[in-house]
Amino acid sequence: MAWSHAIIDGVPETNLVVFAEGEERKGLLLALQSKWSPSFTSHPMFPAFFCSLMLSQELDTTLDDIKTVVRNVEA
């Protein structure tokens, strides 16, 4: 993810670029289709929040995969 925020002619503008594929892309689209408050999404820190949200989800998925492999080895 990469984003920028600027005020152009008195109007705030935020751009967000996300590279995702497969399951990550599906999860990202689901999250973006959620009902977000316009006042929340128009805040300049929304891209940072969204990035942390997606990173947290990715870490949870990775940890679950690691736990599954460890359990299989322990068994």
- Each residue of 17-69: pLDDT tens digit? 888 888 888 888 888 888 888 888 888 888 888 889 888 988 998 999 999 99
Please say whether the beta carbons of 31 and 50 come within 8 A.
yes
Number of other residues whose CB lies within 10 A of the CB of residue 50: 19
The pTM score is: 0.69
